[in-house]
Structures are given as C-alpha cells and as structure tokens.
Amino acid sequence: MTVNYATPTDLSAVAGLRLGTACAGIRKPGRRDLTLIELAADSRVAGVFTKNRYCAAPVLVCREHLAAGAIRALVINTGVANAGTGEAGMAAARATCTAVAAELGCDARQVLPFSTGVIMEELPVERFVAALPLCRDDLAADNWSAAAQAIMTTDTVAKAATRQFTLGGKKIAVTGIAKGAGMIRPNMATMLGFVATDAAVSQALLERLVKDAADASFNCITVDGDTSTNDSFLLIASGAAGNAAIDDAASTDYAALAEAVTAVAGELAQAIVRDGEGASKFIAIEVGGGASAEECKRVGYAIAHSPLVKTAFFASDPNLGRILAAIGNAGIGDLDVDCVRLWLGNGGTEVLVAENGGRASGYVEAQAAAVMAQAEIDVRIDLGRGPARARVWTCDLSYDYVKINADYRS
C-alpha cells in the first residue's frame, strides 16, 4: 500500500543520456530486471555509497571506477544484490563491466555496476551478459519510466521525479529515479538512486552537490532502521544543455541547479517512505530547538525507529508517551525534559500534546486520535535548548511488513 504517491508519467529526457531495459531472468522470469544507461562523452559523475562494512561488490567496483573518472555507462540489476559474495562477487561485478564495455565500445573501467536484491547469493553473470544486447537495442532518451520500473524489488510503485528550469537562456532538465521500500535507513543515500541533469557543472561542485542533496533527502528517511549493503546515490551531469559551465558555488546558477537537484532527490526520498513495505501512513518528524542539527536528527531517528511508536501510528492509537520515551532515549545526557514540547498535526492543524515534563494542560486524547487516523501525520518537537533543527521522514509498522520480509525469498 502506497501512501498518497503516484509515479509521474511526464519525465523530461536529459540530453546526453540514453536508457534501455531488458528481461534477464536474474531471479524471476518475465520481468524487466536489467537496466543500461549510456552517458555522452565528457559527462561528469559523482556518487555517495553505503557505509555498511559488508558493502556489496558493485559498490567497491563503483568507488574504484569513479576514482579513475571518464564514466560512460551504468548497469543496474535487480533480484540479486551481489553482497556477501567474497571474491566471486568481485569477479562477477568486474565481468559485468567488461560485458557492458564490449557492447558500447568503451573501457570496462568506464562502467559503473549496481545491484539490488537478495544478499549472499551469487550473480548469474551468464544471464546478465545474454540480456545486455537487448538493453543496448532498447536505448532511448525517453526511457526513464521503463528504467524506474526495471530497478524495483519489493517496491509497489516506480519512483521518479523531474524538474525543468532555465540557466543563461538554456533549458535545463533534472530527472531522477530511485528504488527502495525496505532495509531503509540510509547512511549516505538510498538503496539505489540516480539523478541526471544536462547542465554543465565542474566536477568539484558536482561532488559537493551530491553530498548536500543526499544529506537533505535520502539521509533524512527511514523505514525500518536497516542500512543496506548496496546503498548508492549517483548524480550525473552530461553538460549537453550548452550552458556556461558552473564553477562557482556562490553563483545564482549553482543555487538554481542545487535547488532543482535537491527537490528531485527529496521527492524520490519521500516516495521511498510512502512506499515503505506494508506502510499505511507517512510521518514527517521535525525536531527543533536543539543544540545541534546532529542531536535533532538523533531525536528524530529515535522516534522513527521505535517499533512501539510505529505500531501505535499503525493502530491510530494516541499512546504518545511512547514518543516521549523515545525522545528521552535519544542519548542527550543533559536534556531538560521540562523544556521539551511535543505537537501532533495534520495539514497545518496542530495539537499540543506534552510540555513541562508531562501532558499539556489543554490536551484531549480525542484530538490526537483524530490526527492519527489520517494517512499523513506531522510530529513536531521543540527541545528548548538551542536554534538547530532537523527533519526525518518515516512510515508506520504494520502486519504486512512482517509478511513481506518473511516471504521475501519465496
């Protein structure tokens, strides 16, 4: 069940990129599970990846190839994560790069591989290689929607976002796709996310922008608190729009590009939470009044990761002492609970639930129950200790989450 999200259908093509998909039968027959993205020469690429120490073989190869530069292609498979596969997994990831290079006439080090799916199973490279010519034949600039569907695993909807704006008289496109529904608590990005623009921008600013965009979007979400072995977020700039290359972080051009990229990344990140495994509610948590943004985010995640809080939201049960317990358990040793205030809201209407160390004097439980019955819920906390703030997006925890993950390999 997806909470108030529909996949956009009118996605802008990004000059300098072509995408193709195919059925490779990597895990399940009859579904498109292999995606090839071809990049124009001179495209610039930057990425951030999982900090999970059991990171997947394709993550290791991506880091290595990005350091060499001059990337010409991305290849993405679903069904098998190629994580926890040792030397055989590294060999498989390299073999896929070699196969793509042979199809496109580039060097294997110019290919970035991405995988998602079941951990600790070997990638069937022969099926992968057999389907690559079909991906090559399918390459087209307007294939973003097909690619968004082909990278899905337990997702129930494809996730995509797009923006257009003008720089120096040139029309600029920013389009992105992502996948993810479970094993979501990114420690850099999302499970898999790809955003591209045809703007020209320096490599140094692209690397800054991918980190900033991830921190404002994918690093603000959680479904179940588990960081994937395969998390990857890539930002591509083809430069094909013909604008004067952006090389000044203080320029209005960079500000406009950063705003568009961050908006696309934010929309994708929220779509992942709205499609969280078994989710029936989308919950936005805003924590203000903190001594630092880091402690505000820590409080937000303490609430978002609490099974007791998440199941209460699923049941529309205003057992909101659970939120206070989560705040108190967030590891802020000198927190003065008498200064903390908690509100629950929806659509601009807020209910003050707690202040002065306990229940607010005017709080009536029926008010909170009415808010919690909605599909979208806002939780706002003021820690009363400083000017910092942070936000976290999450979902509830339902019976279906257990069913989906219990049957994941079936």
The structural domains of the chain, with segments of one domain joined by +, span 17-274, 282-406
Inter-residue contact 19 to 37 (CB < 8 Å): yes
> Looking at residue 201, what is its pLDDT?
98
In which residue are the tokens 């599970």 written?
A: 33
Question: How far is Cα of residue 340 from the mean position of the Cα atoms in its chain?
Answer: 31
As assigned by CATH, the class of the 282-406 domain is: alpha beta
Backbone angles phi, psi at 53, to 5 degrees: -70, -20
Q: Please give the span between the terminal C-alpha atoms of the chain, in angstroms, as a whole number.
A: 20
> Looking at residue 410, what is its pLDDT?
58
Residue 88, helix vs strand vs coil? helix
- Between CA 36 and CA 198 the distance in angstroms is 18
> Looking at residue 189, what is its pLDDT?
63
> Looking at residue 179, what is its pLDDT?
94
Rg (CA), the chain: 22
> Looking at residue 191, what is its pLDDT?
76
> Looking at residue 51, what is its pLDDT?
87
> Looking at residue 350, what is its pLDDT?
93
Does the domain at residues 17-274 carry the CATH identifier 3.40.50.2300? no
Backbone angles phi, psi at 268, to 5 degrees: -65, -45
311 flagged as catalytic: no
> Looking at residue 187, what is its pLDDT?
76
Residues of the chain below pLDDT 50: none
> Looking at residue 227, what is its pLDDT?
79
Task: Write down how long the chain is.
Answer: 410
> Looking at residue 392, what is its pLDDT?
96
Question: How far is Cα of residue 20 from the mean position of the Cα atoms in its chain?
Answer: 22
User: Per the residue annotation, which of 2, 50, 153, 190 is the catalytic one?
Assistant: 190
pTM: 0.94
Inter-residue contact 300 to 392 (CB < 8 Å): yes
> Looking at residue 210, what is its pLDDT?
98
